[in-house]
Chain A
Amino acid sequence: MKQFFIAMISGLLFGAGLAVSGMTDTNKVIGFLDLFGAWDISLLLVMIAGLCVTVPAYQLRKRLKKPFFSSEFSLPSMGSVDGKLLMGAALFGIGWGLYGYCPGPAVASLSYGNIDSVYFLVAMFVGMNVANKIS
């Protein structure tokens, strides 16, 4: 129960941050990706501001034996770069540029009540299943 509320608060703050920053606005996101048009730099600031918090948080974490409300940290291993990673990232960027949603804003946009967000999310889940089958 405690874990449920903690995760919900984190999601709430994350979703609020997406809405405040403009990441849930596909026009703004595509404006940021339009390097050769009227480039809107502001979404770069979202990432930099985010990193200003996460870099110290991830580095200071090394001094903690365990998280406050869980028995251990579950972090992906620091593997090496491979073709699957690069191919996946390349595809993701194409999909992001096509429509203007990455996964977070796509989920958060459900709150705006546009049915297209549902189609986007269902297709995203299908794509994830296909990726699992072929890898």
Chain B
Amino acid sequence: MYITPIMGGLMIGTAAAFLLWTLGKVAGISGIYWNAFSVELPLLSKERVWRLAFLLGLVAGPVLVHHVSTIAVPAAPESGVMAAVIAGFIVGLGTRLGSGCTSGHGICGIARFSTRSLLATAVFMFTGFLTVYLLRHVFA
């Protein structure tokens, strides 16, 4: 039952390693997303285009997986629009202030032995656990 998480993790790690060795870039999705759409870069600069290409692949990846394997498409989240907007906003605010997310800090930064990334990962894991604890076991 733990085959798919391990396989998926190896694929994610390989994708990050590939991006580092070929283009010399960190596979941090929050940063890629921001720079792909932010007005800080010229409209069709090289720095924007590779990020857009990466995001295109990111959307296409699950399509391929659910098409060629028996892994089912997950159930749609039922939290509603308001929750999506509030959570999305906080995730955007937090990842930008904190210079990264699960991928940039957790998968790439820790691999560089970066103290910042190790600490950031510990903190967002902790507040993630705490949030779910409060939602499910205190205010439920």
Contact = CB atoms under 8 A, between A and B. Distances in A.
Given A48-B9, A50-B9, A11 B107 contact: no
A75 to B, nearest CB: 6
A20 B125 CA distance: 21
B5 A49 contact: yes
Contacts of B19: 6-7, 10
Interface residues of A, number: 110
A91 B18 contact: no
Contacts, number: 472
A25 B32 CA distance: 22
B10 A90 contact: no
A124 B91 contact: yes
B94 to A, nearest CB: 3
A131 B5 contact: no
A57 B55 CA distance: 22
Given A9-B18, A92-B91, A108-B61, A25 B75 contact: yes
Contacts of A17: 7-15, 61
Which of B5, B14, B108 is the most central at the interface, judged by chain A CB atoms within 10 Å of its CB?
B5
Given A51-B110, A58-B20, A7 B63 contact: no
Contact of B85 (A5, A33, A64, A120): A120
B59 A81 contact: no
Contact of A67 (B10, B12, B20, B87): B20
Which of A67, A74, A86, A128 is the most central at the interface, judged by chain B CB atoms within 10 Å of its CB?
A128
Nearest to A87: B97
Contacts of A7: 19, 23, 50-51, 53-54, 57
Interface of A: 3-28, 30, 33-37, 42-43, 45-55, 57-59, 61, 64, 66-70, 72-76, 78-81, 84-104, 106-112, 114, 116-117, 119-132, 135
Interface of B: 1-2, 4-27, 29-30, 33-34, 37-38, 46, 49-51, 53-66, 69, 71, 73-77, 79-81, 83-99, 101-103, 105-108, 110-112, 114-116, 119-121, 123-133, 135-137
Given A20-B65, A53-B17, A121-B88, 19 more contacts: A6-B19, A6-B50, A15-B62, A19-B71, A24-B74, A85-B119, A88-B93, A90-B126, A90-B127, A91-B94, A92-B124, A95-B90, A95-B91, A96-B87, A98-B83, A98-B86, A99-B77, A101-B77, A104-B103
